[in-house]
């Protein structure tokens, strides 16, 4: 019924396509759709490129502080990698049996229905994603300007302007070409791995030379507090988050049954190995006390080991942040695209540019909200409100996998994980949610309050189909106007 109300928009889109056909160059007369352009290499670059952000370069000290010792911190890094692999493989099963883009939203829709899916979409759209994108963009702005202002402080306005330019360039790239977006992501992922290699190789050299004094009494239990171990895992799981982004673009993946599980497994192996070796490298040069005192661990390491070359580290961090921004926009735009197709967002968001074959409107969705957060919002507090909601909904998605195992046992599953994996991961997610509620009830309560705003929004915009005629006319007119301005049409079937 929702789709019927948008029929005039779709017809208008088809007429717009016909009007432009005579003006379209011969080489651009392809079927207007999102093609399958995500290969295995590009899939790996999306996952690795998003997971490895600024955290591993700047501040891994949260895990050390809460784990109590060098040895336990490395155990936590490994354990978080294994737990993240359990979650990632669970998503691989979902991605191969539900071959639709959209990630969390699509799986919630299939398992628990449109109401729960809309709640997930609403929170993602109005709060989590704009804030998360603004934070990683600000890190990019800060570190891209660092070499120009060293040793002085960078003016806050300059950081925000650099951030705005970086974010705009990412959105422009994603609007213009899927192929070039994927190619740039591969380059940025290689840059991240090179940056980690710059840390790992000298660190391993020091280790083989016998620099092991910081590993003596590595498992000293005197400083370990069991009550703080969950906080270490919370920090570690956050550092690994991002393994689910390939599931947002499932419809654009070549040979889904093979590519999705393989890309996820290879990516998690690469990230876990790099994270553990990077932390080992840090400890060959810095003691636990020095690491805890450092504001930017990678910079401190580079100053000790690389001398003048340490000025390149902020550039590597900036490229790392840019890769996370690029991959995030690429993946999240597909969630809005699918939600629009299901009738949960304006119809124009499920349309494709007539020549570029990109979901232009869906790509641009986050731009105004992110810019607003960037210049006026208290981003870090909002992220605190929402951090527990992320793990709550990821846990619910994996719970949905278990639920579908029993309610739809005949659903084709080309890739099937042992039930042990989703069960362990589910328990981990809900423990982290409980920890958030216990440790910070005020902020998590505010997050729950923001979450509850999705209920009136669902009834207002989705559930009640008989909208006032004047309101429906305004919505239809807005959709048609945006469609003409952005030159987008419904994808051909």
Average pLDDT score over residue span 120-147: 85
Contacts of 201 (CB under 8 A, 6+ apart): none
Average pLDDT score over residue span 11-28: 43
Pick the range with the lowest mean pLDDT from 11-25, 52-66, 79-93: 11-25
- The reported pLDDT for the residue numbered 298 is 82
Q: Which DSSP letter does residue 39 get?
A: -
385-417 tens-digit pLDDT:
667 788 888 999 999 999 999 998 888 888 999
46-83 tens-digit pLDDT:
899 888 877 787 668 888 888 888 888 899 999 999 99
Q: Are 140 and 325 in contact (CB under 8 A)?
A: yes
Does the pLDDT at position 175 exceed 80?
yes
144-155 tens-digit pLDDT:
888 888 777 888
Average pLDDT score over residue span 275-304: 86
Does the pLDDT at position 27 exceed 50?
no
- The reported pLDDT for the residue numbered 275 is 93
Average pLDDT score over residue span 100-122: 90
- The reported pLDDT for the residue numbered 192 is 87
φ, ψ of residue 136 in degrees (nearest 5): -70, -30
Q: Are 84 and 237 in contact (CB under 8 A)?
A: yes
pTM for this predicted structure: 0.84
Does the pLDDT at position 376 exceed 50?
yes
> What is the pLDDT of the chain when averaged over all its residues?
83
415-428 tens-digit pLDDT:
999 999 999 999 99
Cα distances from 332 to residues 102, 115, 128, 360, 399, in angstroms, run 8, 20, 12, 12, 22
Contacts of 461 (CB under 8 A, 6+ apart): none
438-447: which pairs have CB atoms within 8 A and are 24 or more residues apart? Answer: 439/231, 440/384, 443/381, 443/384, 443/385, 444/385, 444/388, 446/385, 447/385, 447/386, 447/387, 447/388, 447/389
Decide if domain 40-465 falls under CATH 3.30.300.30.
no
316-357 tens-digit pLDDT:
888 888 988 998 898 888 889 888 888 888 888 888 888 888
Q: Which DSSP letter does residue 487 get?
A: T
Q: Are 252 and 178 in contact (CB under 8 A)?
A: yes
- Burial grade of 153 (CB within 10 A; 0-12, 13-18, 19 or more): exposed
Q: Which of 421, 131, 105 is nearest to 244 (CA)?
A: 105
Residue 193: which H helix or E strand, with range? helix 178-208
Q: Are 110 and 119 in contact (CB under 8 A)?
A: no
């Amino acid at each position: 019924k929702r789709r019927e109300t948008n029929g005039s928009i779709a017809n208008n889109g088809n007429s717009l396509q016909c009007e432009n056909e005579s003006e379209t160059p011969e080489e651009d007369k392809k079927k207007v759709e999102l093609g399958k352009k995500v290969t295995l290499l590009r899939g790996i670059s999306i996952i690795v490129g998003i997971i490895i952000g600024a955290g591993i370069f700047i501040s891994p000290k949260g895990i050390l502080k809460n784990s109590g010792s060098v040895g336990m911190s490395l155990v936590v890094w490994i354990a978080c990698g294994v737990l993240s692999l359990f979650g990632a493989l669970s998503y691989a099963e979902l991605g191969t049996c539900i071959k639709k883009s959209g990630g969390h939203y699509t799986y919630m829709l299939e398992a628990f229905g449109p109401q729960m899916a809309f709640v997930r979409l609403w929170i993602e759209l109005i709060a989590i994603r704009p804030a998360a994108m603004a934070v990683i963009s600000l890190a990019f702005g800060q570190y891209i300007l660092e070499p120009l202002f060293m040793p002085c402080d960078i003016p806050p306005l300059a950081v925000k302007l650099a951030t705005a330019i970086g974010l705009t360039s990412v959105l422009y790239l994603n609007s213009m070409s899927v192929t070039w977006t994927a190619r740039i992501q591969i380059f940025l992922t290689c840059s991240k791995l090179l940056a980690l290699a710059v840390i790992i190789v000298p660190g391993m050299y020091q280790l083989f030379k016998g620099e092991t004094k910081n590993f003596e009494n590595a498992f000293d239990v005197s400083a370990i507090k069991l009550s703080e171990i969950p906080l270490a895992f919370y920090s570690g799981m956050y550092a690994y988050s991002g393994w689910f982004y390939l599931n947002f673009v499932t419809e654009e993946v070549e040979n889904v049954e093979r590519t999705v599980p393989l890309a996820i497994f290879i990516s998690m192996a690469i990230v876990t190995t790099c994270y553990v070796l990077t932390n080992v490298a840090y400890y060959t040069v810095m003691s636990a006390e020095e690491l805890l005192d450092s504001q930017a661990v990678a910079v401190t390491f580079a100053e000790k080991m690389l001398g003048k070359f340490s000025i390149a580290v902020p550039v590597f961090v900036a490229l790392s942040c840019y890769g996370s921004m690029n991959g995030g926009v690429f993946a999240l735009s597909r969630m809005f695209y699918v939600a629009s197709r299901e009738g949960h967002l304006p119809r124009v968001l499920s349309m494709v540019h007539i020549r570029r074959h990109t979901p232009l409107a869906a790509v641009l969705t986050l731009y105004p909200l992110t810019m607003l957060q960037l210049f006026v919002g208290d981003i870090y507090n909002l992220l605190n409100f929402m951090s527990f909601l992320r793990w709550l909904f990821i846990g619910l998605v994996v719970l949905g996998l278990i639920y579908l195992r029993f309610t739809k046992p005949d659903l084709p599953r080309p890739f099937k994980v042992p039930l042990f994996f989703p069960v362990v991961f589910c328990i981990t997610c809900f423990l982290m949610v409980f920890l958030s509620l216990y440790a910070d009830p005020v902020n998590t309560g505010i997050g729950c309050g923001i979450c509850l705003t999705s209920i009136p929004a669902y009834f207002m915009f989705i559930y009640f189909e008989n909208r006032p005629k004047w309101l429906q006319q305004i919505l239809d007119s807005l959709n048609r106007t945006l469609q003409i301005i952005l030159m987008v049409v419904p994808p051909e079937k």
